[in-house]
Amino acid sequence: MNHIPVLLKESIDSLNIKDNGTYIDATYGCGGHTKLILSKLGINGRIYAIDCDITTILKHKILDKRIIYIHNNFSNLKFFLNNEIGKIDGILFDLGISSFQLDNPKRGFSYIFNGPLDMRINQNQNINAYKLLQDINEKKLSEILKIYGEERFHKRIAYNIKKYLLNNKLNNTKDLSYSICSAFNKKNKFKHPARRSFQAIRIFLNKEIEELKKVLNISLDLLKKNGIMSIISFHSLEDRIIKNFMKKNSSYNKNIIRKIPLTENEINNLYFKKKNLKLKIINRIFPNKNEILTNLRSRSAILRVAKKI
């Protein structure tokens, strides 16, 4: 299936593309967002297109002199864009994986198609899903399913997966899917029982939360004054991290302001905060009904936008 970019117009409009600006698409994927940036960019504009999945870049590469491709994890941005600190007009993140990756059985992300237990986004990474499931104990696995998949039946599922492994019955994504499904008594007509567990294993294996936490401060340093940070996320855990980061760098603690008179400590804190304000929160956007109907993947998306001040 072709990848349909999520919140495409909204995210690119939020970047307010300048004719000769310099932009980073930190999650290039199939190039959907980059293409729209390109269409608004003048001949001297530039886009750094980052993706840690080399097959994705090779397959979707657009030949345009304004694009500079970088095959690496976005958490390493500061190292390879050291010269661009304070010079970037906008940075975009569209987190997670694309339909191109999800629907390729060989990548092991899918609970529908059968394939190897891989799930690595960056194929240079040593550990794949099979090795991870072997290495961790049942308690840790249960914790991963609970935290990253918000899976209610995490204990039962972890027990089943480990049992399948012990009996040499966990050799591919179909086996994993079976082992998860067998933990459910009733089937949900609308959601596949293995969806949350596959997502949890993928997020943990690829250190997606750590990658995000690392890159937020780096992105802020790369932006110039009035530069824009636009981030699309699909998971409440990711969204909370982004929301808290933007809040921490942008606003006063309203509860303190409401409390009058302030203590000396609180006044000092406010002054410190004012001096350290780095962002202005611009917007929070959800996909509309039409987008959700035409692209189901967008249903859990949230776009958060902030401007460097």
Ligand X SMILES: C[S@@+](CC[C@H](N)C(=O)[O-])C[C@H]1O[C@@H](n2cnc3c(N)ncnc32)[C@H](O)[C@@H]1O
Per CB under 6 A, residues contacting ligand X are 3, 5, 27, 29-33, 50-53, 56, 73-74, 94, 96-98, 121, 211
Q: Which is nearer to ligand X, 32 or 193 (CB)?
A: 32
Nearer to ligand X, 99 or 250 (CB): 99
Give 74 or 153: the residue with its C-beta nearer to ligand X: 74
247 within 8 A of 240, measured Cβ to Cβ: no
Least gap, CB of 255 to ligand X (angstroms): 35
In terms of CB distance, is 120 or 162 closer to ligand X?
A: 120
Question: Long-range contacts of range 54-63, CB-CB < 8 Å, 24 or more positions apart?
Answer: 54/123, 55/123, 56/28, 56/29, 56/30, 56/98, 56/100, 56/101, 57/28, 59/30, 59/100, 60/28, 60/29, 60/30, 60/31, 60/100, 61/31, 62/31, 62/34, 62/35, 62/38
Residues 141, 232, 112, 196, CA torsion sign: positive
Query: Nearer Cβ to ligand X, position 8 or 279?
Result: 8
Smallest separation (angstroms) from ligand X to the CB of 49 = 10
Question: Smallest Cα–Cα separation from 216: which of 286, 308, 140?
Answer: 308
- Residue 237 CB, shortest distance to ligand X, in Å, is 15
**Nearest distance from C-beta of residue 256 to ligand X, angstroms:** 36
As measured in angstroms, the least distance from the Cβ of 219 to ligand X is 12
Shortest Å, Cβ 53 to ligand X = 4
Nearer to ligand X, 53 or 151 (CB): 53
Closest contact distance (angstroms) between CB of 182 and ligand X is: 30
Q: Which C-beta is closer to ligand X: that of 25 or that of 170?
A: 25
Q: How far is the CB of 230 from ligand X (least distance, A)?
A: 11
Q: Which is nearer to ligand X, 106 or 169 (CB)?
A: 106
